[in-house]
Amino acid sequence: MNYYEVKFTYTSEIETEVINDVLASELGEIGFESFTEDEDGLKAYIAENLFDEDALNRKLAVFPLENVCFHFTKLWIEGKDWNEEWEKNYFQPIHIGHECLIRASFHPDEPGYTYNIIIDPKMAFGTGNHSTTYLMISEILKLDLQGKEVLDMGCGTAVLAILARMKGASRVVAIDIDEWAYNNARENIRLNHTEDIEVGLGGAEKIAGYGTFDIIFANINRNILLNDMHLYARSLRQGGLLYMSGFYTEDIPAIEAECEKNGIKLLSHSEQKNWVAVKCEKEGAKSQIKG
């Protein structure tokens, strides 16, 4: 498959790294699959048949950060071995304290980590996801998941589901609406010998078919979280925990308001580079989950 590489640079007083993260999230909504960043800006990749320059210009016109002037150029790229490209240039291991290491199969092992997760990301793993993934994994590491039933909604590479299973969750379900993510999740689950994780293809309407859960992780984006909150609440047991990420600090009031409509209380939040992860609890019986 052939791709376009679109190179973005910015004129702004905002740090380039912050703009990179926000832009990657926005571009993901119009078909861009992967991103690499540098001190000058962001390179974004999209399949040739999905590229729509008008859609791109519309997206930039309503960019959520103010006073950012965009400049971009595009380059057509003939199909290549993207695994090799990632190995040579892009995906670097992610370290979360001394507890968790996320690496690709082509990276050397690094001993000393409690949880060593292998993720072969290929074209779907972008730098724009690092902060939200980091925040969610940091929350999971605080939890006692022994015997708990867990849902990873919008699982992507299934890294959250894999970690939950490694931490002793008795049942883990991972769901994603994207067929590529579904297949990649299954591959990563095999790589980490957590084959008993159930993987589903579809949106939040699929959750009910898997019953109810003690904990739900949803690392997606603001609009989807707001739209699907009622479905999360319906499948979360009383006293259960809901962790959400994929939105910005300024979105917390909207997220909290929607939580309250659905009998969910926002307990706390953590931040990194203006990205946020929130911890919420379904009202009812007191939570028995430590963390």
pLDDT of residue 127: 37
Hey, how many other C-beta atoms are within 10 angstroms of the C-beta on 274?
Answer: 16
> How far apart are the C-alpha atoms of 117 and 129, rounded to whole Å?
16
What is the β-pairing status of strands 94-96 and 69-77? unpaired
> How far apart are the C-alpha atoms of 240 and 169, rounded to whole Å?
14
pLDDT of residue 80: 60
> CB burial class (10 A; 0-12, 13-18, 19+) of residue 287?
middle
pLDDT of residue 131: 81
Intervals of CATH 3.40.50.150 along the chain: 143-282
Contacts of 220 (CB under 8 A, 6+ apart): 153, 154, 244, 246
Q: What is the CATH number of domain 3-80?
A: 3.30.70
Per-block mean pLDDT, blocks of 10 residues, the chain (291 long): 89 88 86 79 88 95 93 85 57 85 87 92 49 91 97 93 97 90 91 97 95 96 91 97 92 96 96 91 71 63
Q: What is the CATH number of domain 143-282?
A: 3.40.50.150
> How far apart are the C-alpha atoms of 216 and 222, rounded to whole Å?
16
pLDDT of residue 179: 80
Contacts of 57 (CB under 8 A, 6+ apart): none
Residue environment code for 185-215, b if the CB has 16+ CB neighbours within 10 A, otherwise e: bbebbebbebeebebbeebbebbeeeeebbb
Intervals of CATH 3.30.70 along the chain: 3-80
pLDDT of residue 180: 76
The helix/strand/coil state of 196 is coil
| DSSP secondary structure of 67-130 | S-EEEEEEEEE----HHHHIIIII---EEETTTEEEE-TTSPP-TT-SEEEE---GGG--GGGH
> How far apart are the C-alpha atoms of 26 and 29, rounded to whole Å?
6
pLDDT of residue 259: 97
> How far apart are the C-alpha atoms of 181 and 120, rounded to whole Å?
11
> CB burial class (10 A; 0-12, 13-18, 19+) of residue 270?
middle
